[in-house]
Amino acid sequence: MKRPASTLAVLWLVLAASSAVADPPQRTEAEVQKYTAEAKVLEKNQDYAGAEKVYQKALQTFPNNPKLLKGFGILYQTELKFPESIAQFQKALRISPQYPGVNFYLGLSYFGINQDDKALKAFAAELKAHPNYMRAHYYSAIVLESLGRNLGAIRQLTAIVKQRPNDAKAWYELARVYREQAMNAFEQVATLAPDSAMIHALRAESLDADEQYTAAIKEYQMALKLNPDFPGIQAALGRVYFNDRELSQAEAHLRLALKEDPNNPAANYEMGDILLSAGKPAEAVSLLKIAAPNIPGFMPAYFDLAKCYLALGNLKAAQAALIKAAEANPNSKAPHYLLAHVYSRLHEPKKQAEEMKIFQELASKQVAADLKRAAKARQADQQANH
C-alpha cells in the first residue's frame, strides 16, 4: 500500500530536524575538549573570571555535559567558592552518578565548609564506584582524623599503603595517627592506673625505643616488683639487657621468658645469639630454628642459624639458611660473603664466584652511599658555619 504524501513529508521533517540538532559524538567531544583546554590555560594564569566565562559559554551549548560541570566545579573550588562548586558537582552527578572524580571533589568542597559527614559520604560514594581512587582514601583519612575517628583513618591509610608501599605521604599520616592513638591510650592508662605495673611497662618500652636502656631497665624492674606475673615482662627485660649487651643478665631473664612462652620468636633469637657467641652452636640451633621463620624480614636470625650449621659442619643446611638470609635483606652483603665461603667448601667454584660478585657490588654501593652521606654532612657543616 502506498504511504500518503503527507505522512512521508512529516517523517522527512522529523529526520531532518533530528539530524540538524544531534551533533556527532566526536564533534561534541572535540568542542568540549577545546573549551576545557581554554579554561585551564586561563586558570593556570590565574584569570579565574575569564575561565568562568569560558565554562559558562560552553554550558550554554552543552548544558548536560558532566566533564564541563566537573571542570567548572573544580575551578570554583580553586577560587574557594565552595557552595558554587558543590552546585556544579551535584548537577554532574544527576546526569552521571558515577562520573569519575566528581564525588571526590564534591567531598573536598564539603570538607572546605566543615561539613565533614557530607564529605565522608561523598568520598565513600567515589570509592564505591572507583575503589582504587587513592586520593579519596587519603582525604577520607584526613577527615576521620579531624573527627577523632583514628581507627577509621587507619583503615583508609592502610588501604593506600597496601596498593602503594612507597607512598611516603600515606606512611607519614599513618605514623601520625598511630602515634596519636598510642598517646591517647597512654594517657588513659596513666589516668586509670597512675602507679601500676602497666604504666611502668609503657614508660619502659618508650625508653627502650629511645635506647635509654638503664632508665628502661629501672621501669621494667618496677613493673616486675608491682606485678611479678606481668605478662611478657621477662622477655622485655631480656631484650633490653640484650640490646645493652649485658648478656649474663639478658640470659637469666630470657630463660625465664622461654619457660613462660617457648615459642616467643624474639626471645628465641636473642637467647640463640647469646649461646652462639658463647660457643654453644648445638644449643643455639634449636632456638634459632624457631626464631628465623617467625620474624619476617629479619636477616640476623637466619644468618646466626647459618653460622651454627657451619660450626656443626652441616654445609648444606648453612647454604639454605644463608639463601634465606639474603632473601630477607637483599641489601646486606654479609650473607653473600659467607655463601661464597660455603660454596668454596662445597667445591662449587661457579657459585662461589657469583656470590663474591654480588658481595663486591653491594660493598661498592655501600662505599658510594657512605661517601655521599659524608659529602652531605660536610656541606651541612659548611652552611651552618657561614
Report the C-alpha gap between 24 and 19 in whole angstroms: 9
Cα–Cα distances in Å, from 41 out to 52, 99, 332, 366?
12, 23, 50, 47
Count how many domains the chain has. Answer: 1
C-alpha cell at position 330:
637483599
- Radius of gyration for the alpha carbons in the chain, expressed in angstroms and rounded: 33
Q: What is the mean pLDDT of residues 345-369?
A: 92
Determine the length of the chain: 386
Task: Answer whether residue 287 is part of any domain.
Answer: no
**Statement: residue 286 has pLDDT above 90:** yes
Backbone φ and ψ for 164, nearest 5 degrees, come out as -130, 80
Task: Answer whether residue 367 is part of any domain.
Answer: no
Q: What is the mean pLDDT of residues 351-358?
A: 95
Cα–Cα distances in Å, from 197 out to 114, 214, 252, 267?
42, 18, 21, 21
Between 304 and 230, where is the model more confident?
304
Task: Answer whether residue 290 is part of any domain.
Answer: no
Task: Answer whether residue 96 is part of any domain.
Answer: yes
Domain, as residue range, for 111: 33-130
Domain CATH for 106: 1.25.40.10
**Statement: residue 18 has pLDDT above 90:** no
Task: Answer whether residue 385 is part of any domain.
Answer: no
Those residues with Cβ within 8 angstroms of residue 92's Cβ, 6 or more apart along the chain or in another chain: 66, 69, 70, 73, 99, 102
Task: Answer whether residue 323 is part of any domain.
Answer: no
Tens of pLDDT, residue by residue over 46-63, are 999 999 999 999 999 899
Range from 35-49, 335-349, 364-378 carrying the lowest mean pLDDT: 364-378
Name the amino acid, one letter, at 303: F
- Identify the burial level of 178 via C-beta atoms within 10 angstroms of its C-beta, where 0-12 means exposed, 13-18 middle and 19 or more buried: middle
Tens of pLDDT, residue by residue over 153-210, are 999 999 999 999 998 999 999 888 888 888 888 888 888 888 899 999 989 988 998 8
Angle among Cα 260, 263, 264 to the nearest 5 degrees reads 75
Residue in 136, 181, 125 with CA at minimum distance from that of residue 163: 136
Report the C-alpha gap between 125 and 89 in whole angstroms: 13
- Predicted confidence band of residue 105 (pLDDT cuts 50, 70, 90): very high
The pLDDT score that the predictor gives to residue 1 is 44
The pLDDT score that the predictor gives to residue 27 is 62
**Statement: residue 9 has pLDDT above 60:** no
- Identify the burial level of 177 via C-beta atoms within 10 angstroms of its C-beta, where 0-12 means exposed, 13-18 middle and 19 or more buried: buried
Does the model's pTM come out above 0.75? no
The pLDDT score that the predictor gives to residue 21 is 41
The pLDDT score that the predictor gives to residue 180 is 85
Task: Answer whether residue 112 is part of any domain.
Answer: yes
The pLDDT score that the predictor gives to residue 20 is 36
Tens of pLDDT, residue by residue over 313-342, are 999 999 999 999 999 999 999 999 999 999
Q: What is the mean pLDDT of residues 121-132?
A: 94
Q: What rounded mean pLDDT belongs to the chain? A: 88
Task: Answer whether residue 231 is part of any domain.
Answer: no
Task: Evaluate whether 129 touches 116 at the Cβ level (below 8 Å).
Answer: no
The pLDDT score that the predictor gives to residue 31 is 87
In the chain, % of residues over pLDDT 70? 91
Collapse the DSSP code of 230 into the 3-class scheme (helix H, G, I; strand E, B; otherwise coil) and give the result: coil
- Predicted confidence band of residue 26 (pLDDT cuts 50, 70, 90): low
